[in-house]
Amino acid sequence: MAAPPRTVKLIVINDVVCSYCYIGHYELLAAVDHCKEVLQLPLTFDIEYRPYKLYACLGEDAPAKTSRPEWLKAKMGEEAYTRSSINVYQWFKDRKLPCGVDDAPVVQSTLAHRLSRKAFLMGGSRYQEALLSAVFKEHMENSKDISDVDVLSDIAEDVGMMTKDDVRIRLAPSSPALRSLHLDSC
């Protein structure tokens, strides 16, 4: 008789504006698929994502027109930025994914984190993973501004989480639903 599947609980702390977090997210999901499909291990995975603000120094009203490469060079230094960029570009190239990292705006990710938390509360890791995968893709591959409520509402509706109008209501600054998530510090 086969053993019942064991559940592996993971808590991942990331930011959807971080290219290395996207790489980690992508590779983690590939590893989970490998365990299930190739190795056929009797495991289930329960992954909860928690927020981290990579750009904590940015205000919520940060200018979306800021050049990401120039901003990162100022933060990291030219040499460190160049080394980092080479690794990131190579990763995208190796996986045959479009790389929109340089064109992605430098933005605060608070609203995306709040929507991610709501996804987890609504449907656990299944909803949260689908939403975050789509948010990462739109920002890192398609250079979308994931601080824009319209972009987030499109993503949430596309993954079947909620309607665009529901997202707009929940992410409105005056929304009681937003305050009920207790994420003012994220």
By CB neighbour count within 10 A (0-12 exposed, 13-18 middle, 19+ buried), where does 32 fall? Answer: middle
Are the beta carbons of 108 and 59 closer than 8 angstroms?
Answer: yes
Confidence at residue 176, expressed as pLDDT on a 0 to 100 scale = 58
Rounded distance, CA 76 to CA 73, Å?
5
Length of the chain: 186
pLDDT of residue 23: 98
13 φ/ψ angles, rounded to the nearest 5 degrees? -105, 120
pLDDT at 142: 97
> What pLDDT is attached to residue 152?
97
Q: Could you give the C-alpha distances from 140 to 23, 133, 145, 168, in angstroms and in order?
A: 10, 10, 10, 23
Domain 6-179: give its CATH superfamily.
Glutaredoxin (3.40.30.10)
Instruction: Please give the model's pTM, rounded to 2 decimal places.
Output: 0.88
Give bridge partners of residue 49 from the DSSP assignment: 12
Beta strands in the chain (DSSP E): 6-14, 43-51
Q: Give residue 175's pLDDT.
A: 60
pLDDT in tens, the chain (186 residues): 667 889 999 999 999 999 999 999 999 999 999 999 999 999 999 999 999 988 877 766 565 567 889 989 988 999 999 999 999 999 999 999 999 999 999 988 999 999 999 999 999 999 999 999 999 999 999 999 999 999 999 999 999 999 999 999 988 876 655 544 444 433
Note the pLDDT of residue 177. Answer: 54
CA trace torsion 95, 100, 102, 103 (10° rounding): 180
- Annotated domain spans of the chain: 6-179
